[in-house]
């Protein structure tokens, strides 16, 4: 993985020193809370319902053991001994004291981490395919380009006061594991006619109050021009994005109001005027970055006798293999999911002790690498098949081996009203109830792939619009209600969910999910996923089942 050189280290050190001074000015009363707010928001520090929350950047979801151990130690020392992984692959600590924040940033800097640009109207932490460098279906390692974007976007002089926050995701695989169509800019690598690599550039995706899927404004951008083209998009947005209304300030609204074609024309015109050489990275720098992403795999047999033996005698392990272990590009290796979705617990939460377990496993068994995906789970990306039984045993002992990836209990949920000042309703207890109802792994497996996504408010941090079943918390005269949507997807077959009907009270949500699952099991043909059945039947049978009592 990418390691900081002296320049990167000095940069983060300078930033940390600046923040320490700013906090001192605030604590000394030299600046007011109002004046301090934009400063802390440039460093990922939010004021929530009960305490400060620090959002720590995990660029393109890549970690190593030293980083995760440091996060574990920080969570134990300065917080309540746990952290929360988000749909943006960042880690949130929810119980931070302001006076500790500068010290925490110094500890983070020791392991080449920071919390810059995890908040505020800036280019946020860049995300990428969590299978990068490990999957056979990619054209290139997207982290090379994500790292280029990370550096380019860091304290960008022109784009640090955008109309609104701005998120970029990169994938180089046909299967979209980075949700690129719901990003402000989604970059999907393609191969051109002459064999050259380029990006399909999608702009204006996003969820929130008015959800949109991204529109392609360029089918093929040669990779070497990535940064100059991004700069052109950002310039058009910075100049012409709305600033009079926070709800209309995202780039999706500009793209929708101009039309993707006209927006694309303006970007092309801006790009044509720019001196690309000044912005695009030289080949030497790209080669330097690329060299950081070349793990050495051993030559192994594609079949592991040790794994086959373990599987034969152990139904739980076999189930783990079916759902949490995925093919790797190198023979004899696998990607192993670490489930942060134990039914009854908070999706995405992980204790310091668990972080240490995962860090040890990464170091011993996964070439010292780890990934975070937007489903709020972790991945050990390079595990030898021979080692999978040992990894499974260690994960199971730590409560991290629930074999439920992409199943009904692998629920995305934002922190909701339990933590967040913006929320209208709680998300975590809803996720917990549903997951507990479907905790039986045999039943969950029968139901198959079903992605439930829960947001506690219209800001949609829980991606509810693109859930196969989406759940949105709303406030009805002081009571928590939940609006259900069906048929969303955030992947290559992206679509926005369709409203099921009137919002339900909290105690009816799990029953409604179960009723819809029954409809699906009744209607499903030829092993269809829930999503496919819904797309075939439409909303009617689901609606009838859930609202039968009301008729």
Partner 1 sequence: MPMRIKLRDGNLYPAEDPFTALADDQDLVPGDVILSLSRFQAEGDRLLSEGRAVGVRLKSDEEVEALAYDLPRIAVVALEFPKFRDGRPYSSARILRERFGYAGEVRAVGDVLREQAHFMLRCGFDAFEPADGTGAQQWEAATRRFRHVYQRAADGRTPAFAEREA
- The set of long-range contacts for 363-370, using a CB threshold of 8 Å and a minimum separation of 24, is 363/64, 363/65, 365/390, 365/391, 366/336, 367/295, 367/296, 368/64, 368/65, 369/1, 369/62, 369/63, 369/64, 369/295, 370/62, 370/63, 370/64, 370/65, 370/68
Q: Could you tell me the smallest distance in angstroms from the CB atom of residue 273 to partner 1?
A: 6
CB of 121 to partner 1, least distance (A): 7
Q: Shortest gap between Cβ of 35 and partner 1 (angstroms)? A: 8
Cα 327 from Cα 515, distance rounded (Å): 34
Q: Is residue 100 within 8 Å of 107, Cβ to Cβ?
A: no
Helix 305-312 × helix 388-397 angle, to 10°: 50
Min. distance of Cβ 165 from partner 1 in angstroms? 12
> Cα(326)–Cα(333) distance, rounded to whole angstroms?
9
* Inter-CA distances, 145 with 60, 82, 520, Å: 10, 31, 41
**Closest distance to partner 1 from the beta carbon of 505 (Å):** 39
Q: Is-contact 94 51, C-beta < 8 A?
A: yes
Tokens matching residue 340 = 């942060």
C-alpha radius of gyration, the chain, whole number: 23
Q: Nearer to partner 1 by C-beta: 153 or 402?
A: 153
Rounded Cα–Cα distance for residues 310 and 549 (Å): 48
CB 417 within 8 A of CB 424: yes
- For 38, the token pair is 């934009």
Residues found near partner 1 in the complex (CB under 8 A): 5, 7-8, 10-11, 14-15, 17-18, 22, 35, 38-39, 121, 151-152, 154-163, 235, 238-239, 243, 273, 275, 278-279, 281-282, 284-285, 288
Q: How far is the CB of 142 from partner 1 (least distance, A)?
A: 19
Given the complex with partner 1, which of 154 and 485 has the nearer CB atom? 154
What is the nearest approach in angstroms of partner 1 to the Cβ of residue 490? 29
Q: Which residue lies nearer to partner 1 by CB, 154 or 432?
A: 154
506, 472 contact by CB (below 8 A): no
- 287 or 397: CB nearest partner 1: 287
Distance CA 149, CA 462 (A): 25
Residue with smaller CB distance to partner 1, 160 or 495: 160
d(CA 431, CA 409) in angstroms, rounded, equals 8
Toward partner 1, which CB reaches closer, 160 or 515? 160
Could you tell me the smallest distance in angstroms from the CB atom of residue 510 to partner 1? 42
> Could you tell me the smallest distance in angstroms from the CB atom of residue 159 to partner 1?
7
Q: Which is nearer to partner 1, 7 or 548 (CB)?
A: 7
Q: Are 515 and 544 in contact (CB under 8 A)?
A: no
Give the nearer residue to partner 1 in terms of CB position, either 32 or 194: 32
When the beta carbons of 38 and 502 are compared against partner 1, the nearer one is: 38
């Amino acid at each position: 993985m990418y390691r900081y050189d002296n320049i990167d280290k000095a940069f983060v050190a300078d930033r940390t020193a600046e923040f320490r001074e700013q906090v001192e000015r605030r604590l000394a009363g030299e600046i007011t809370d109002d004046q301090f707010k934009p400063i802390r928001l440039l460093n990922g520090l939010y004021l929530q319902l009960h305490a400060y929350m620090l959002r720590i950047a995990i660029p393109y979801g890549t970690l190593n053991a030293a980083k995760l151990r440091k996060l574990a130690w920080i969570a134990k020392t300065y917080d309540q001994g746990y952290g929360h992984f988000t749909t943006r692959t960042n880690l949130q600590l929810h119980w931070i004291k302001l006076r500790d924040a500068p010290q925490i940033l110094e500890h983070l800097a020791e392991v080449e981490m920071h919390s810059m640009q995890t908040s505020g109207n800036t280019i946020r932490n860049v995300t990428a395919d969590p299978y990068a460098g490990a999957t056979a279906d990619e054209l290139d390692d997207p982290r090379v380009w994500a790292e280029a974007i990370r550096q380019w976007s860091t304290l960008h002089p022109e784009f640090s006061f955008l109309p609104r926050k701005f998120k970029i995701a990169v994938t180089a695989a046909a299967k979209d594991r980075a949700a690129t169509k719901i990003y402000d800019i989604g970059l999907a690598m393609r191969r051109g006619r002459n064999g050259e690599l380029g990006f399909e550039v999608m702009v204006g995706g996003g969820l929130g109050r008015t959800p949109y899927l991204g529109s392609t404004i360029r089918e093929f951008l040669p990779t070497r021009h990535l940064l100059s083209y991004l700069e052109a998009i950002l310039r058009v947005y910075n100049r012409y994005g709305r600033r009079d209304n926070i709800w209309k300030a995202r780039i999706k609204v500009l793209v929708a109001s101009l039309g993707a074609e006209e927006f694309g024309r303006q970007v092309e015109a801006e790009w044509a005027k720019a001196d690309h050489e000044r912005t695009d990275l030289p080949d030497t720098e790209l080669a330097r970055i690329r060299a950081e992403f070349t793990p050495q795999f051993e030559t192994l047999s594609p079949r592991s006798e040790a794994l086959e033996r373990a599987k034969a005698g152990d139904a739980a392990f076999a189930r783990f293999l079916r759902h949490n272990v995925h093919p790797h590009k190198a023979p004899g290796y696998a990607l192993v999911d670490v489930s942060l979705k134990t039914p009854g617990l908070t999706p995405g939460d992980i204790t310091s002790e668990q972080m240490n377990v995962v860090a040890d496993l990464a170091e011993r068994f996964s070439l010292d690498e780890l990934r975070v995906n937007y489903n709020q789970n972790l991945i050990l990306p390079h595990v030898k098949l021979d080692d999978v039984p040992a990894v499974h045993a260690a994960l199971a002992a730590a409560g991290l081996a629930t074999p439920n990836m992409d199943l009904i209990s692998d629920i995305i949920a934002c922190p909701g009203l339990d933590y967040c000042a913006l929320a209208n309703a709680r998300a975590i207890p809803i996720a917990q109830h549903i997951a507990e109802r479907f905790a039986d792994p045999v039943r969950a497996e029968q139901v198959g792939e079903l992605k439930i996504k829960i947001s506690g408010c219209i800001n949609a941090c829980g991606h509810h619009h693109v859930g196969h079943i989406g759940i949105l918390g709303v406030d009805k005269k002081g009571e928590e209600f939940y609006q259900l949507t069906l048929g969303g997807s955030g992947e290559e077959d992206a679509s926005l969910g369709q409203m099921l009907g009137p919002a339900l009270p909290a105690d009816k949500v799990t029953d409604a999910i179960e009723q819809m699952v029954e409809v699906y099991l009744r209607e499903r043909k030829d092993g269809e996923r829930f999503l496919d059945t819904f797309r075939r039947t439409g909303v009617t049978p689901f609606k009838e089942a859930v609202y039968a009592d009301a008729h």
